[in-house]
Amino acid sequence: MLEGFQGTGSSEGWDGQDSPDPLLLAEMRAESQAVAEMMPVSLDQLLAEVFLTYQARSPEELAALMHRRYSPGATFIDPTVHAKSRWEAALAFFYPIQHLFSRVHVSGISAPQLELVPQRQGPPLLQVTVQSHQCYQFSRNNHISQQIFPEQSCREATTALLVDPRTGQVLRHEDYWQHHPPVRLPMAWRRLNCLCVTAVHRLLGWGRELREAEARTDQRLEQ
């Protein structure tokens, strides 16, 4: 379940001698908002579809959401994995959610914080940052899983999305969890962990299921 956006949209405070000119800060905010409004998709829809990927209940639903909202070369990073493509992110993180959890509830989504990110070439990209409360209800469908897993795991999360405003697609998705895990893995270990879990998930047949779902999605789009 996904609840609506909340919050005031105020930026993090500036203090001391590093405080920027209020007029300059207002101009930067206005410019970021103007770029966001020119996207082919609204910010509300973009964020809703991103969080729906956590809650998709079939490979077809996940494939359609990711095809629409993520660039093929999109990077996904959280405290445990570092995926370097849309498909790898789906196989390492989003699709396993359907198998491990019976329900995902995302609530308390803050108003998005916007920032323009300049590129060496081309127009600037848009960074969108939100906070949310996420609860994952484990699929405890047998005695063993009931002994191993708790009923649910909840966390406060910050999600930072780097978006191409020309397409409305996510180029980079980073999740930060407050207090989870207690020790952050170095980036190289997250990359290694991603390669290991995707290899295991392919052995389980999840890679084939995702590829077939993507092929069906492509066929529907071509019709």
211-223 pLDDT, tens per residue? 999 999 888 888 7
- C-alpha distance across the termini of the chain, in Å: 31
Interatomic CA distance for residues 116 and 7, integer angstroms: 21
Q: What is the mean pLDDT of residues 21-47?
A: 91
Q: What angle do CA 145, 146, 148 make, to 5 degrees?
A: 60
For residue 36, is pLDDT > 80? yes
Reported pTM? 0.84
C-alpha closest to that of 127 among 172, 83, 191: 172
Between the alpha carbon of residue 13 and those of residues 9, 19, 20, 132, 223, the distances in Å are: 12, 9, 11, 19, 50
Share of the chain above pLDDT 90, in %: 70
DSSP 204: T
Please report the domains of the chain, with CATH numbers, ordered by start residue: 23-180+205-218 (3.10.450.50)
- pLDDT tens for each residue of 59-112: 999 999 999 999 999 999 999 999 999 999 999 999 999 988 989 999 999 999
Positive or negative torsion for Cα 165, 168, 174, 177: positive
187 vs 4, higher pLDDT: 187
Instruction: Tell me the per-residue pLDDT of 110-138, one tens digit each, with 9 for 90 and over.
Output: 999 999 999 999 899 999 999 999 999 99
